[in-house]
Amino acid sequence: MRRERLDLLLGCLLAAVVAMTLFHRTDPDAAIAESMGERTTKDGTLLGYTKYKDYLSASKSVLGERTKFVGTTVVRRYTVNRGVESSLLGLKSRGALVVTYAAEFSFGYDLAPGSYDIVDTPAGIEIRVASPTVVATPAVRDLHHQVLASGWFTDERAAALKLYEDSSNVARAEGARMQGDAEIVALCERTLTAFLHDFLAKQPGVERVPAITVSYKHAGTAG
């Protein structure tokens, strides 16, 4: 009788141990499925973070459609004071006038085929291109003149017309000087990188676009 009770007690203990083991043991199939699901999620996220690389070539083609990429437009107003002097039979006559006008400058990049490149680097995306230049002839407008003093036989109107003609040459020279200004360069960079970022961000599967920088090379060198 005593023996039977001992066997019964041992049987109960064994059953309890088996039950506890089954309760805490993880189902192998479930563990594999969970692991695969986690890996798939991680792979999917990683793919979304690097998907932009698939569209770098397309982005270069899109930029290339804009042979002259306008990065910024700047309007400057000018005032020119000019004295007018004339002489007749030894007599001198003096006059004065002021000419005002506005000049619109467009600065940007030359994106002709072979003149730039878009490269994926460990630090992000790098646009390799020549420095910004004037990409269109400066537009001179709002020309006005005022005669401040009129001489007996000075022709202030002719002097004003000459200043009008010279304004285009002055604007071209001014544009060439301005294109190296740090503010102009920064504005052009901002517009170019924003354009590329927006294009890549809109492409299917792209979840992240890395930092985009602009590096400059000498004109005429390959990308």
Residue 147 falls within a domain, yes or no? yes
Residue 101 falls within a domain, yes or no? yes
pTM for the predicted model, two decimal places? 0.68
| Residue-number span of the structural domain to which 95 is assigned | 49-217
Summarize the confidence of residues 127-141 as an average pLDDT. 94
The proportion of the chain whose per-residue pLDDT surpasses 90, expressed as a percent, equals 43
93: how many CB neighbours lie within 10 A of its CB?
Answer: 15
Q: Is 35 helix (H, G, I), strand (E, B) or coil?
A: helix
173: how many CB neighbours lie within 10 A of its CB?
Answer: 11
Residue 26 falls within a domain, yes or no? no
Summarize the confidence of residues 56-81 as an average pLDDT. 89
Residue whose structure tokens are 């009770």: 5
Residue 110 falls within a domain, yes or no? yes
Residue 99 falls within a domain, yes or no? yes
Residue 119 falls within a domain, yes or no? yes
Number of domains, the chain: 1
Residue 153 falls within a domain, yes or no? yes
206: how many CB neighbours lie within 10 A of its CB?
Answer: 19
Amino acid identity of 24?
A: H
Confidence of residue 24 (pLDDT cuts 50, 70, 90): very low
Confidence of residue 87 (pLDDT cuts 50, 70, 90): low
Confidence of residue 6 (pLDDT cuts 50, 70, 90): very low
Please list, in sequence order, all residues whose beta carbon lies within 8 angstroms of the beta carbon of residue 111, skipping any fewer than 6 positions away. 63, 64, 66, 67, 68, 69, 129
Summarize the confidence of residues 51-56 as an average pLDDT. 92
pLDDT surpasses 70 at 213 = yes
Note the maximum CA span of the chain.
Answer: 155
State the DSSP H helix or E strand holding residue 193, giving kind and residue range, or none if neither: helix 182-201
Q: What are the pLDDT digits (tens) for 117-133?
A: 999 999 999 999 999 99
pLDDT of residue 126: 97
Cβ pair 69, 192 in contact under 8 A: yes
Residue 14 falls within a domain, yes or no? no
Q: Which residue has better confidence, 186 or 90?
A: 186
Q: Is 89 helix (H, G, I), strand (E, B) or coil?
A: coil
Average pLDDT over the chain reads: 77
Confidence of residue 98 (pLDDT cuts 50, 70, 90): confident
